């Protein structure tokens, strides 16, 4: 529900009486462009429960559950959508690294772009996950296990700049913190906010953090890496999960297509 409310009323001035079918539909449509399918499904499920609660407790005069659009249940029916590499670089370049928020956002964007982390994985990072001596970072991944990845120099430098001149001095061990009080570790949903802000600054179509994971995968394939390497980079247990990215570069796939044979008359 936090994701829905953040999109509907970004300033936080929420009033149930002002909620209507049009607002519900428009907000879910916007969320569909920002969140990956699993997060979107979770948000919609919570939203339906919330709308039922509002109705049965007389906070709204009519049930708005019917205004929530159905979601397609078929997985992998479309190509993953990636941001072109040039646009991705503009997202990072647009961060004002003279400010604390800009240094944090630059580090978050580079972690997403160079390591391909999921938003929840970025949110779970803490200070103890970075092994500066060996140039490694530990990721608390799906399934409750840890993955150890090399820490690219560019990413390490951005994180170090944030820690030295950006991160508030607080007792929490979370790596990335909010800028404004109450100071706390970023949530998975909050990780998407710097991405959307960077898109607006760079003049790029607004997207969520998962699009940057797609960008890493497609650019790695485009550079000639084998599928097994991409699967390892994305930490997919099954290489078939990564195989959809082989078709993500439409231009490259089109070059493999043969013309339709003419029928002899």
Domain locations in the chain as residue ranges: 2-67, 86-247
Q: So what's the pLDDT on residue 206?
A: 84
Q: So what's the pLDDT on residue 70?
A: 78
> Which percentage of the chain shows pLDDT scores above 70?
81
DSSP-derived letter for residue 174 is: B
**C-alpha to C-alpha distance for 126 and 115, rounded to whole angstroms:** 16
For the domain spanning 86-247, the CATH number is 1.10.443.10
Q: So what's the pLDDT on residue 8?
A: 65
**C-alpha to C-alpha distance for 103 and 143, rounded to whole angstroms:** 31
Tens digit of pLDDT at every position of the chain (265 positions): 566 777 767 666 667 777 888 888 888 888 887 777 777 888 888 888 988 888 888 888 888 888 888 776 444 444 556 788 889 899 999 999 999 999 999 999 999 999 989 899 999 999 999 999 999 999 998 777 889 999 999 999 999 999 999 999 888 999 999 988 889 999 988 898 899 999 999 998 888 888 888 888 888 777 777 777 777 777 776 655 555 555 555 555 454 445 555 555 4
Q: Measured between alpha carbons, how far is residue 70 from residues 48, 99, 140, 260 in Å?
A: 11, 42, 32, 38
Query: Across the chain, which distance is largest between two alpha carbons, in Å?
Result: 80
> Does the predicted model carry a pTM greater than 0.85?
no
Residues noted as catalytic? 118, 142, 210, 213, 236, 245
Q: So what's the pLDDT on residue 172?
A: 92
Q: So what's the pLDDT on residue 109?
A: 96
């Amino acid at each position: 529900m936090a994701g829905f409310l953040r999109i509907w009323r970004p300033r936080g001035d929420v009033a149930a009486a002002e909620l209507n079918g049009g607002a519900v539909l428009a907000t879910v449509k916007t969320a569909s462009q920002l969140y990956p399918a699993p997060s979107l499904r979770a948000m919609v499920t919570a939203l339906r429960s919330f709308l039922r609660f509002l109705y049965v407790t007389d906070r709204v005069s009519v049930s708005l559950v019917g205004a929530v659009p159905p979601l397609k249940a078929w997985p992998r029916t479309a190509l993953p959508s990636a941001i072109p590499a040039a646009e991705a670089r503009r997202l990072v370049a647009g961060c004002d690294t003279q400010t604390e928020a800009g240094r944090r956002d630059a580090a978050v964007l580079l972690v997403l772009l160079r390591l391909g982390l999921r938003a929840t994985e970025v949110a779970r990072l803490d200070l103890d996950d970075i092994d500066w001596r060996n140039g490694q970072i530990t990721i608390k991944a799906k399934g409750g296990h840890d993955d150890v990845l090399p820490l690219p120099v560019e990413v390490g430098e951005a994180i170090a700049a944030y820690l030295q001149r950006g991160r508030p001095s607080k007792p929490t061990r979370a790596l990335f913190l909010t800028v404004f009080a109450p100071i706390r570790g970023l949530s998975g949903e909050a990780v998407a906010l710097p991405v959307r802000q960077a898109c607006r600054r760079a003049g790029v179509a607004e997207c969520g953090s998962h699009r940057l994971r797609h960008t890493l995968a497609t650019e790695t394939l485009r550079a000639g890496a084998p599928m097994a390497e991409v699967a390892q980079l994305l930490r997919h247990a099954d290489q078939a999960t990564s195989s959809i990215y082989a078709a993500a570069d439409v231009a490259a796939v089109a070059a493999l297509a043969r013309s339709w044979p003419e029928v002899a008359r």
